[in-house]
Structure 1
Amino acid sequence: MNLVLDLLWFAVILIYSYAESLVKLFIPVKRKSVSGEIVLITGAGQGIGRLTSYEFAKRHSTLILWDINKRGVEETAEGCRKLGANAHAFVVDCSIREEIYRAAEKVKKDIGDVSILVNNAGVLTTADLLSTQDKQIQKTFEVNILAHYWTTKMFLPAMMKTNHGHIVTVASLAGYVTIPFMIAYSSSKFAAVGFHKALTEELAALGKHGINTTCLCPYFINNNFVKNLSTRLVPVVKLETVVAQLMDGILCNQKNGYCSTNYEIPFANGKNPARSCIEGFL
């Protein structure tokens, strides 16, 4: 029964998203400039993180790149420099809170205040629950959701002082629709979606309307997470497509992908309701 409901909900989302995309073809949304912004991207050593770094580099942002893979993150930084951007590579294990805090302090001291934070780092274990090791479950939550708390706590205060910034959450379709043999991953992505929604409402309640939020929830992506991926229920999308949709969402201050819309959070005083968006699916 739950599977049927999940599929029906997914079908509604998909139909709505295609309809909205059709409307957007005729009503273009103005894009903001990110030139000169200090952008921090976690998990920048490959995949979504690397290509997103290149997109910001093309737009003359200053890049702060974090990844546990030293070679990968340095290659990304070099690619950004070739595109004309100022890029700084840091080796950071996002499963360790203390490492995040140390690296964040160094960034603030040596480079400046981050104005765009892209929480992209993620890990995935595919196995049934009883075969999944305890340490794998713990690390999944440490990287996929707890790290979002630590990075946001470090960089949000400066954004709040200026009422300017953008916090991006890279989640997953698995944060909406349950998937067997991915219980830890799916649960962590449900939490990431919840983090994004709650943060969005909290910023609105505090009157910080200059700080935007975006959450990306892609279908299965053709990358290194899952080898030889195929599914009959949802399409497998190209990495470049995912990043293009993510950048659209950031530059337009809204959610992106085939399913996205703005919604307002009303307040009793009727003043300046929060502008947020329902998560985008690719």
Structure 2
Amino acid sequence: MPLSEGQLASLLPFVKCLLVLFLLREANAALSRWAERNWMWKRDHNAWLSANELAVVTGGSNGIGAAVVKRLVSHGITVAVLDVQPLSDEFQKVRKVGDALRSGHGPPSILINNAGIGNASNILDIAPASLRLAFEVNLLSHWNTVQEFLPDMLAKKKGHIMGVASFAAFFGLAGMVDYSCTKAGLTAFYEGLTQELKHRYGCPQVKTSLVYPSWTKTRLITAIEKGIRKSRAPVMEPNDVAEAMVNQIVAARSGHIYLGPSILASLRALPTWLQEFVRDRLAQIVTVNASTAVARDGECTAR
């Protein structure tokens, strides 16, 4: 039965409201994409189709890193895989690796900082050496590799620096405080790097990306995977994370990549009671067995 003129007139404000909301959403998405391109109108997509690209991937021997390496190679990109062990030491060791790469293959245009380790220790229990190693591998290694390889990218006005953080960056959980701290630090580091590229080095052409995976089937969650699945939380495959990462690089896009339940990324904006509810639920997964390490103390484990 067709609607009367009166009924149509009463629906008109509702339709207008929906249209305004739709336009606002589209405008917001367009502005976000523009901002992620460092306010550049055009994306230099074709510049990434060169057959001479060299990518450096840390922690590329298994898990997410290995899947990323495989996908980069499928695009014709030469890949150098760096183990986490040399990156957890002084900058001079990274410098030696960089010099060897340049002499043999040329300067890299892609840097993917993927290496990471995890402990499952309480604040009072974690050994100082394990705590130091977590910060060195998960956070300071990003600083070292960027200091080594960014100058090459600035000289060419071309490059992409990508880091792998975690949804743990948005909340601290019992038994993995060190891990959450390092991942929160990566958020500040990559945001600051993006700002310095624009305002200190005048080189917005160099892209930056930070990836926030949720639970991913790697060695980092082996000890607690059963608890994760029991909670019905989704567990991603490394290939799914790697696909999103490489697509971002090939498309020459900057920005954050959130892979997992969207509510976790916006946790800080939720009411306090709801934040605590989510943290408590996640803590139950992590502390199923507080004596079992996600990755044993001192063990370097790539994602």
Say whether residues 1:63 and 2:64 are aligned partners: no
Give the Cα separation in 1 of the matches to 2:234 and 2:162: 24
Amino acid at match of 2:175: F
Q: 1:122 maps to what in 2?
A: 116
SS in 2 for 1:145: helix
Give the Cα separation in 2 of the matches to 1:109 and 1:147: 22
Distance apart, 1:209 and its partner CA? 1.5
Give the Cα separation in 2 of the matches to 1:178 and 1:243: 25
Which residue of 174, 177, 180 maps to 1:186? 180
- The root-mean-square deviation of aligned C-alpha atoms, in Å, is 2.4
Amino acid at match of 1:139: L
Give the Cα separation in 1 of the matches to 2:167 and 2:144: 23
Give the Cα separation in 2 of the matches to 1:184 and 1:35: 40
Q: 1:84 maps to what in 2?
A: none
Normalising by structure 2, what TM-score? 0.65
Amino acid at match of 2:69: S
Distance apart, 1:48 and its partner CA? 1.1
Tell whether the 8 Å contact from 1:219 to 1:234 is kept in structure 2 after alignment.
no
Q: 1:244 maps to what in 2?
A: 243
Q: Which has the higher strand share?
A: 1
Say whether residues 1:112 and 2:106 are aligned partners: yes
Q: 1:214 maps to what in 2?
A: 209
Give the Cα separation in 2 of the matches to 1:247 and 1:151: 19
Give the Cα separation in 1 of the matches to 2:94 and 2:221: 27
Identity percentage over the alignment? 25
Q: 2:89 maps to what in 1?
A: 96
Q: 1:256 maps to what in 2?
A: 257
Tell whether the 8 Å contact from 1:47 to 1:239 is kept in structure 2 after alignment.
yes
Amino acid at match of 2:205: G
Distance apart, 1:247 and its partner CA? 1.6
Q: Deviations over 1:215-234 (max 9, x none)?
A: 00110111111214233485
Give the Cα separation in 2 of the matches to 1:111 and 1:41: 15
Give the Cα separation in 2 of the matches to 1:219 and 1:124: 14
Tell whether the 8 Å contact from 1:128 to 1:181 is kept in structure 2 after alignment.
yes
Matches within 5 A, 1:99-178: 99-178=93-172
Distance apart, 1:134 and its partner CA? 0.7
Give the Cα separation in 2 of the matches to 1:171 and 1:61: 23
Say whether residues 1:39 and 2:55 are aligned partners: yes
Give the Cα separation in 1 of the matches to 2:215 and 2:133: 21
Give the Cα separation in 2 of the matches to 1:40 and 1:124: 22
Aligned length: 212
SS in 2 for 1:93: helix
Tell whether the 8 Å contact from 1:120 to 1:170 is kept in structure 2 after alignment.
yes
Amino acid at match of 1:186: S
Which structure: larger Rg? Answer: 2
Amino acid at match of 2:143: Y
Distance apart, 1:248 and its partner CA? 2.2
| Segment drifting more, 52-61 vs 92-101 | 92-101
Give the Cα separation in 1 of the matches to 2:105 and 2:173: 41
SS in 2 for 1:166: strand
Amino acid at match of 2:217: N
Tell whether the 8 Å contact from 1:34 to 1:56 is kept in structure 2 after alignment.
no
Amino acid at match of 2:213: P
Amino acid at match of 2:103: K
The structure-2 alpha-carbon separation of the partners of 1:127 and 1:233, relative to structure 1 and needing over 3 Å to count, comes to farther
Give the Cα separation in 2 of the matches to 1:213 and 1:33: 18
The structure-2 alpha-carbon separation of the partners of 1:57 and 1:133, relative to structure 1 and needing over 3 Å to count, comes to same
Normalising by structure 1, what TM-score? 0.69
Relative contact order: is structure 1 or structure 2 higher (C-alpha 8 Å, sep ≥ 6)?
Answer: 2
Tell whether the 8 Å contact from 1:160 to 1:208 is kept in structure 2 after alignment.
yes
Q: Which has the higher helix share?
A: 2
Segments of structure 1 that go 5 or more residues without pairing to the other structure are 1-15, 69-91, 260-282
Tell whether the 8 Å contact from 1:171 to 1:192 is kept in structure 2 after alignment.
yes
Tell whether the 8 Å contact from 1:179 to 1:186 is kept in structure 2 after alignment.
yes
SS in 1 for 2:49: coil
Give the Cα separation in 2 of the matches to 1:127 and 1:34: 45
| Segment drifting more, 234-243 vs 192-201 | 234-243
Give the Cα separation in 2 of the matches to 1:257 and 1:197: 15
Segments of structure 2 that go 5 or more residues without pairing to the other structure are 1-24, 34-42, 263-303
Give the Cα separation in 1 of the matches to 2:181 and 2:111: 22
